Each structure stands twice: as structure tokens, then as C-alpha cells.
Homo-oligomer: A and B are copies of this chain.
Amino acid sequence: MQQAIGKQSIAFEKPPTIEVYASIAGKKEGEGPLGRGFDYIEEDDYFGADTWEGAESALQTRLLAKVMEKGKVKAKDIRYVFAGDLLGQDIATSFGVMDFQIPLFGIYGACSTAGEALGLGAMTVAAGYAKKVACLTSSHFASAERQFRYPLEYAGQRPVSATWTVTGGGAYLLSDNPGKIKITGITTGCIYDYGVKDSMNMGAAMAPAAAALIKANLSDFNRSPGDYDRIVTGDLGLVGKTLLLELLQRDGIAIEKQHEDCGIMIFDNEKQETGSGGSGCGCAASTLAAHFLPKIESGEYKRILFVPTGALLSPVSFNEGNSVPGIAHGVVIETAEEL
């Protein structure tokens, strides 16, 4: 039990390595501030498929292939895949990864999925159950709009608090080999429900879960915000960021200097008209791979806390008048000490 610390964290005795990572983005994301960081940018919104859901599956297929190519591994070398997406019944993942024939743990954490996948993947490698596992997740603007809001053909208007679902994704190959990027710990989140009922303001729904997660992480690891070079939330957007900082301030925790939000970083909001910012599983996942991991690999950042957040709604729960509860999962990523 010495690896379990505090109320909801694990500090790995043998931190697994993020050996390689890959990101894919859509055209609009490619035109944003992070454009040059993505492994590649797909100009075809359909990714060569016939449907939006098929497009997202194709995105996951290419992501997994890309990370395998970069890691110079074959499917048989990967013991497990931990993957999920935003769509009902995780279909982007099921149809996206099935041809690889790798044992699959399908997960659902809404936009916190990248954190959940990295957490379970790291636990699996650190315990010695696997030498290599792959973690991946994605989102697609058009499949998410159809699932959660309106079909694109409806041309519905969007309030400024609404976020823009990112077309993109990130994949990570975790292993027990030495390497420059280590997952040294995780903090697993509980669900928080502040009674937000506006599916166009998911940043507000998720901010309480992010605040609670960051607070728990700092407490469990006995750290202050300054012990992290960056504290990175997934897709709170401009509205959610303000709320997060306020909530933590009430507890005397100031993270202004360390905080960045992938949803704010991935688009140039004013030029690209993306409302409160980017969102979706693919937002945090692709930003981690395109922006943060290279900076950890180079040693520019020594330690970050990655906290993607998820809004746990479905079209059914929302239309039945339920609130939108939130969850967040934290991953501590560091430059390897031995370097």
C-alpha cells in the first residue's frame, strides 16, 4: 500500500515512461496557435469516411497507427489499449481500434478521458502487468454536435459560453523502459454536481471538479502550486477558468501563475470565433501531445499536473432536465530525474 498516498492519489515507486506520443488535428485546429505541434493535420473533415462517426473512428485508427510507428512497435508488442471517446457507447473507439486486435479496456470519462486512460495505463505498467500499453482518445466537432447539440445542418446559434468541440486526438505509448518523460503519480477524481443545467456552459459544470482535484492533488502529495511548472486543465474555457481560479482562491490556493487551459490554448478565440474555447476529449489529449510533452521532454518544464475535466451529461440526461455533473482526473508528468 505504500504507493497509495493521501485520499485519492498514487505515487508510483517505479514511474512508467511516456515513450512516444502522437497527435492529430483537424483543419481548424491546425490553423490555431498549436498548429505546428501536431503530428499531422487532416484537411478532410470526414477523414476519408462516410459519416462523422466514421471520421472519428478513422482518426483513432490513425492515431494508434501513428504512435505505434513512432514507437517502432507492432500491435502484438502492446499489451493493452485504454481508450474512449465522447460518443454514446464509445463507438469511435470500438470501430477505431478493433482491427489492431489488442486487448481493450474501454473507458468513459467524457473530456477527462485522457487523464483516466493515462492513469489506468500508468497503474498497469507500474505494477508490472504490461511492458507497453497504449492510451488514446479523440473527439470530432461534427460527431459531437450531432450527439449532444444539433446536427450541423440545423445551423443553430451558439452562446458565447459554449465551447467548440475539437476535431483531434492524442495517443501515448507507456512503457517500463527508461525515458525522458515519466508519470510519477495520479489523482483520481470524484464526481461533483453544482447543479449547472446549461449544456452550453460546460466550463462552469466542470470547474468545481477541477478545483477539487487540484486541491486533493496538492494535499495528497504535500505540494504547493509552485511545485508545478504548469497546472493544465483540459477544456474549461474562458468561463470555466475564471470560476476555477475563484473556487481555489476561496481555499487560499493561488494557481494563476501556473494555470493553463488547453481549451483556451488550442484556438485563437477571437479570430476563430470559438466562443469560450475548445472542448472535447481530443482538446486536452492533442494539446498534451502537441505542446506540453515536448516541453517536458526538453526539460523546459520539470513537472506538470495535467487535469482534464469531463462533463457527465448525455443527450437523454440533459433533455430530462438533469444537471451536468463534472469529473476530473489528474496525472503528474515529470522530466526523468536521471537526466
Interface residues of A (CB under 8 A from B): 1-4, 8, 10, 51, 53-54, 79-80, 84, 86-91, 94-95, 97-98, 101-110, 116, 119-120, 123-124, 126-131, 146-147, 188-193, 312-317, 320, 322, 325, 327
Question: Are B108 and A316 in contact, CB atoms less than 8 angstroms apart?
Answer: no
Chain B residues contacting A3 (CB-CB under 8 Å) are 127-129
Chain B residues contacting A107 (CB-CB under 8 Å) are 105-108
19 A-B pairs, CB-CB below 8 angstroms?
Answer: A1-B128, A1-B131, A4-B130, A8-B79, A53-B317, A80-B188, A86-B89, A88-B88, A88-B89, A97-B191, A102-B190, A103-B188, A104-B191, A105-B107, A105-B116, A106-B109, A107-B108, A127-B128, A147-B316
Question: Are A188 and B105 in contact, CB atoms less than 8 angstroms apart?
Answer: yes
| A71 smallest CB distance to B (angstroms) | 18
Q: Which 6 A-B residue pairs are closest in the complex by CB-CB distance?
A: A88-B88, A127-B127, A89-B314, A98-B191, A103-B188, A94-B312
* Also in contact, A313 and B89, with CB within 8 A (given A108-B106, A190-B103, A325-B94): yes
Chain B residues contacting A192 (CB-CB under 8 Å) are 98
Q: Which residue of B has the minimal Cβ distance to A50?
A: B320
Q: Which residue of B has the minimal Cβ distance to A324?
A: B94
Chain B residues contacting A127 (CB-CB under 8 Å) are 3, 123, 126-129
Question: Are A120 and B102 in contact, CB atoms less than 8 angstroms apart?
Answer: no
| A37 smallest CB distance to B (angstroms) | 29
Chain B residues contacting A317 (CB-CB under 8 Å) are 53, 89, 91, 94-95
Measured CA separation A88–B317 after assembly (Å): 9
Chain B residues contacting A105 (CB-CB under 8 Å) are 107, 109, 116, 119-120, 188
Chain B residues contacting A102 (CB-CB under 8 Å) are 190
Chain B residues contacting A188 (CB-CB under 8 Å) are 80, 103-105
Question: Are B79 and A4 in contact, CB atoms less than 8 angstroms apart?
Answer: yes
Q: Which of A91, A97, A98 has the most CB of B within 10 A?
A: A91
Question: Are B316 and A10 in contact, CB atoms less than 8 angstroms apart?
Answer: no
Q: Which residue of B has the minimal Cβ distance to A2?
A: B128
Measured CA separation A325–B95 after assembly (Å): 8
Measured CA separation A146–B319 after assembly (Å): 14
Measured CA separation A123–B315 after assembly (Å): 33
